[in-house]
């Protein structure tokens, strides 16, 4: 996979993650969490095989660092966890109006 497509997939995954985590956690959570899980997982799987083109037109491997691969894998696991927690009914957490112990 070319590095440009890999980065575009990262932007898509980031937007999906932003959507279910911050923007609107109660709407389209299955779609956004599922898409983010798939995108982060694809990025983690193909990270060692990312290539770019040189000025001469040759394809050169530019594998992502191990730290980045682990970070992307963690985001895939996090997105999958949100997907499962939403299915079970535990995501998003309910916010209490007032804490009764703070009287």
Q: What is the pLDDT of residues 28-83, one digit of tens each?
A: 899 999 999 999 999 999 999 999 999 998 999 998 899 999 999 999 999 999 99
Would 76 be classed as within a structural domain? yes
Would 81 be classed as within a structural domain? yes
Would 53 be classed as within a structural domain? yes
Would 101 be classed as within a structural domain? no
Full residue range of the structural domain in which residue 46 is found: 3-95
Total domains present in the chain: 1
Return the pLDDT at 43.
Answer: 96
Kindly provide the residue ranges of all beta strands, DSSP E only, lying in the chain, ordered along the sequence. 51-53, 59-61
What is the spatial distance between Cα 44 and Cα 79, in angstroms, rounded to a whole number?
13
């Amino acid at each position: 996979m070319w590095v440009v497509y890999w980065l575009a997939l990262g932007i898509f995954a980031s937007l999906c993650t932003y959507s279910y985590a911050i923007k609107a956690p109660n709407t389209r959570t299955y779609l956004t969490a599922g898409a983010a899980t798939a995108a982060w997982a694809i990025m983690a799987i193909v990270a060692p095989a990312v290539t770019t083109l040189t000025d001469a037109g040759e394809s050169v491997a530019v594998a992502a660092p191990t730290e980045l691969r682990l970070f992307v894998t963690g985001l895939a696991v996090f997105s999958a966890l949100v997907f499962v927690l939403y299915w079970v009914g535990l995501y998003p957490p309910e916010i209490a109006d007032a804490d009764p112990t703070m009287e």
